[in-house]
Amino acid sequence: MIQQSSFASLIPLCLFCIALILIQVPASLAADKAEYTNCSAPIQCGTAQNVSYPFWGVNRADYCGLSSDFQLTCVDDTSLQINISGLSYRVLRVDNSSRLFTVARADYNSTICPQYLHNSSIDTNIFSYSSDTVATNLTLYYGCDTPPASVSQSLNTTSQFKCSVNGSTDSPGYFLTRSPEDITVVGVSIGAQLTSYFGSCDTSVVVPANRSAIQTIEDLPTQASVEAALEAGFGLQWAANDSGRCQACIQSGGQCGREPNLVDFACYCSDKSYSSTCGGSKNQVTLGIGLALAGAGLTGLLLGFWIFSIRTKKRRIREAAAAAASAAESRSKDISGPPPSSKGILPISTTSYSRTTPSYPSSKSDLEKGSTYFGVQVFSYVELEEATHNFDPARELGDGGFGTVYYGELHDGRVVAVKRLYENNMKRVEQFMNEVEILTRLRHENLVTLYGCTSRRSRELLLVYEFIPNGTVADHLHGKRAGLGLVPWKVRLNIAIETADALAYLHESDVIHRDVKTNNILLDNNFRVKVADFGLSRLFPNDVTHVSTAPQGTPGYVDPEYYQCYQLTDKSDVYSFGVVLCELISSKPAVDTNRHRHDINLANMAVNKIQNHTLHELVDPSLGFEGDYSVRRMATLVAELAFRCLQQERDMRPTMLEVLEALRRIKNEGNSFQSGEVVEMDIRSSDDTGFLKNNVVPPPFSPDSALTDKWVSNSNTPNSF
């Protein structure tokens, strides 16, 4: 009777559990629809309406579009803008059916005299000019001198305008729709004279324009016609690498996007995401809900029976304990007095025979709930397993120094990168503890942040980092993201500076990274650097000059002296960083067996090219090395620095701090170059004078270092350092 009443009392509890589970079913379905709902809403801003895939931004999440090249912003709620190759453009119209959109330079909005003068350029891997756009025919010349009589007679005075250039007010300028050498007067070519005259102007800017606007300027060559052409903008066509899947996705009722924080195409549907088209139907969804409800009901019943059995077992234990106590009390009444005792004989303590146990926490759950390890949070294995969808291969971000890295989402909403060690042996445990200890004692804006880890006694060793969404430097230079767009020179130089800053900080903290490479340099969406993967790092004591250890690291980056002598110093990182500099200059991987056998190793290839006066064969031609003197100048200086870092003898290499200072001087020289200042540059540190005093030959400079003479810039490269 007691058991029946107890079971009856559990029925409301079972019903409550079932109801609770049923409430969660719609919530989970709503979570699956979040991406679908978010990507269904187009961007609305000013005159630009109903803008959708591949664009994102404003009210659309990044997974609703393609790469950062398609991010849009809404300025003052009136102007939709996009950044293309470092310049802002107003988006006037978008035609998804033909993949065309019309843009206009934002800096030329209502003016022909912008504050800064930059040429227009586009990444031809992503965008191309539309058929009605002339990309080279409208040229604006600024800061021109008074033309000589032989030239002024051939120039139409209506094609002249005035702007303030380099502090000079009302400096004359001209606009042309044809190249100067193509201009004739009464059948006589005066191209040579015009080319010479316009070559003396301070600068020139080429702005694309529609053919009809060019024709209007030629028919009516006035400043108003030019400003109208700049306002009207020009057409671009984008290349979305989705192989027609977006159209198929929309036809199936889905919304186009990409997997969150990945580059793979995704078709977001009302039930879930698919790789191409929506695969579910209403009947399937209804069936799924029915199965979920049935499963929830069964789970509730099983839970009720389980709770009932536990309560019954506990009651029986209490009843047995009460009966034993009653029996003991009755026996004690039969004893007339206390038991006899013998002086000098102590009762035997049961603890005398207890087995010695380690001083670990009392249980695994104690360690994995709310505890810390080296000051960081300890996560449970189950939580991280759920965060990565059971370590779904589709969520793999790449391979770290000793483990695979997965994309994950924690219960508190944080997006993380979870590193899973390949194997759980003593060596891996040592590397695991080493990385945790080092990362918890270091804080730098260009070092990846460690959120926590699992217990050393967890069935797998896992490290939890902040998630850096934009891949690695290697991805952008020669990997899976290289096709998304060229990384400009100014960005590459900043990557070098921030990486050098992080490594210099490590060395000042007595830490040697030991695995410096472009795969370990992560980038956020603003291309800010986060150096990662400290699994091979070593603490470097202050009282020794090197640490002897077996060679580890990545082929192509390892210090040759370290390979020979097993001696690890901070100069080992300097050598590896020299290889990174070569990658930034060339966009080539550190090791490539498809190259000539003498060039398989990029470090050897770079040294040979520099020594043979063929640096131009090393530098990525898309950086503008041949045509832009500013880029040529700075790339040569960076190659010079890489040459010094790659010296075979470590004593000939600069320190990481000296490398950082040299890179900053190169950047500052670039700033001075943009402003037209006269600069004399020498990237050698003051320590090089010591080589001469001691009759030691300093590290050789590259043959191109003759460029380090005084020079003055007239470059049109944007000043955005």
Please state, in angstroms and rounded to a whole number, the distance separating the CA atoms of residues 256 and 274. Answer: 10
448 closest CA partner among 439, 437, 457? 439
Beta bridge partners of 140: 175, 205
Reading the block at residue 228, the tokens are 């109208």
Q: How far apart are CA 582 and CA 564, in angstroms?
A: 23
Q: 288, exposed or middle or buried, with CB in 10 Å at 0-12, 13-18, 19+?
A: middle
Q: Which of 591, 535, 274 is nearest to 405 (CA)?
A: 535
**160: which strand partners?**
174
Q: Tokens for 462, please give them.
A: 């896992």
Q: Which amino acid is residue 606, in one-letter code?
A: A
**Residue 665 CB: number of other CB atoms within 10 A?**
16
CA distances from 525 to 81, 256, 407, 437 (A): 18, 21, 16, 28
Residue 412 is among the residues annotated as catalytic for this protein: no
Neighbours of 309 (CB within 10 A): 10
Give the CB-side neighbour count of residue 265, counting CA atoms within 13 A.
Answer: 21
| Cα 403 from chain centroid (whole Å) | 20
Using CA atoms in the order 561, 564, 566, 572, what is the torsion angle rounded to 10 degrees?
A: 20
Contact 446, 499 (CB under 8 A): yes
Choosing from 242, 515, 573, 704, the catalytic residue is: 515
Using an 8 Å Cβ cutoff, are 515 and 535 in contact? Answer: yes
Could you give the angle at the alpha carbon of 479 between the alpha carbons of 395 and 665, nearest 5°? 115
Give the burial class of 310: count Cβ atoms within 10 A of its Cβ; 0-12 exposed, 13-18 middle, 19 or more buried. exposed
* 162 in a labelled binding site: no
CA pair distance 713, 195, nearest whole angstrom: 19
Span between the terminal Cα atoms of the chain, in Å: 84
Going by the DSSP 8-state scheme, the letter that residue 123 receives in this structure is: -
- 719 and 675 in contact (C-beta within 8 Å)? yes
Token pair 């990658």 is at which residue?
Answer: 583
Q: Which two tokens stand for residue 14?
A: 């079972």
Identity (one letter) of the amino acid at 438?
I
Cα–Cα distance between 700 and 680 in angstroms, integer? 19
Which burial class, exposed, middle or buried, applies to 321 when counting CB atoms under 10 A from its CB (0-12, 13-18, 19+)?
exposed
**Helix H or strand E encompassing 334:** none
Instruction: Name every residue whose Cβ is closer than 8 Å to that of residue 242 and which is 6 or more positions away in sequence.
Output: 54, 256, 265
CA 684 to CA 640: how far, in whole Å?
9
What type of residue sits at position 179? Answer: S
**Catalytic machinery residues:** 515
Give the residue ranges of the annotated binding site for ATP.
419
